[in-house]
Structure 1
């Protein structure tokens, strides 16, 4: 299916709106306790329960408006439903905090498996957003694999040693910035290994006799 053009503002709202909404809702209700069917839920668990359908709705809206959803968003959605759902069902916030670790490790495993097979699967995951040579993709894949492994270890360190509020702020604000900085440091790689699609040769007009 061909992707339909979407205004950048609408796209950003659908992609980052649920995350921002989660952060705002958490800061408002983090000290509250909600009683549902005789069970007490902390503000974190309650906000998580509300966040899951909102996140899925955002992805669904992207698909309806553009006809396309990034593969990494699908993987993230599965992890959100799995760990978030289990966390709410078992009333255990730690399961949701482990979700980023699972996502990072899964992506690192997928990329690492591709490298072992002599292939770069990062291009497939990133939907050809960056035109590069095969060598460039191979280098970037190795670096991104290490990034995901380091991110998984960092998430485990933060949620196990810091407060809940610190972890929420770290995951929603700090991690996106750190990942953005990482890709900014790869600009030289993108330039050195840029791959331009060859232009089709122009047909020469035959001169009239």
Structure 2
């Protein structure tokens, strides 16, 4: 999910896609690797005992802040999702470490997907697609196509929120980490792959194609 960058920044703020991907997905990969190494360890800090998950979360927060700031510095732009994700990481990650309670961090994906699902729902009630505003630079669809995709994505986000609740409440901590690292990412990828027919049906015709048909 990518927001269009203002035209004045596009030429001056071009970033190597590999660097951009590393900044976006690197912190999550680092969290997963650190958890696998430290999940069975316990750390004593200030007379308090912290499990590996809490310690890894404490390291993830500054890493996420640093990667987001570097991404903003390089691109001159952050999407709404990137900003909101960072806020949730800092807030719920901070609560997790401060209260020594992993439940707060595990609730973060639920709230993130509820927020975006609700935002898309509000737009639909107003007869508009906020998704079209966010993704117009990445996709060219007719208005009715945007509305259908927005409705589907809204329900998809609500489904992910519910699924996250089921996994973190009903399964082991390690299962949730695997689900968070790989399951959610794969689910989003599969969702957009299954929308290929919609993209084809409601794609906007290029000017060249329209001229050819007219002639």
Question: CA 1:192/1:59 → structure 2, altered by over 3 Å: closer, same or farther?
Answer: same
Q: 1:93 and 1:80, CA in 2 relative to 1: closer, same or farther beyond 3 A?
A: same
1:107, 1:127 → 2: CA distance?
17
1:102 aligns with 2:111: yes
Q: Does 1:86 align with 2:100?
A: no
Q: Of 152, 163, 166, which residue of structure 1 is paired with 2:172?
A: 163
The corresponding residue for 2:187 is 178
Q: Is the 8 A contact 1:70 1:127 kept in 2?
A: no
Q: Does 1 or 2 have the higher relative contact order (CA < 8 Å, sep 6+)?
A: 2
DSSP-derived class of the 1:69 partner: coil
1:128 corresponding residue in structure 2:
137
Q: For residue 52 of structure 1, what is the aligned residue in structure 2? A: 61
TM-score, L = length of structure 1: 0.91
Distance 1:129 1:150 in 2: 24
* 1:21 and 2:30 correspond: yes
SS class of match (2:89): helix
- Match of residue 74 from structure 1: 83
3-state SS of 1:34 partner: strand
- 1:165 offset after TM fit, Å? 0.3
Q: Is the 8 A contact 1:70 1:126 kept in 2?
A: no
Aligned to 1:138: 147
**Is residue 72–residue 125 contact of structure 1 (8 Å, CA) maintained in 2?**
no
Hey, which of these two has a bigger chunk of helix by percent?
2
CA deviation string 1:20-65 (max 9, x = no partner):
0000000000111111111111110110010011011111111111
Mind listing any 5+ residue stretches in structure 2 that lack a counterpart?
1-5, 209-215
Q: Give 1:124 deviation, angstroms.
A: 2.5
Kindly tell me the number of residue pairs found equivalent between the two proteins: 199
Distance 2:91 2:133 in 1: 24
The corresponding residue for 2:212 is: none
Residue 167 of structure 2 aligns to a residue in which SS?
helix
Query: Which segment drifts farther, 45-54 or 190-199?
Result: 190-199
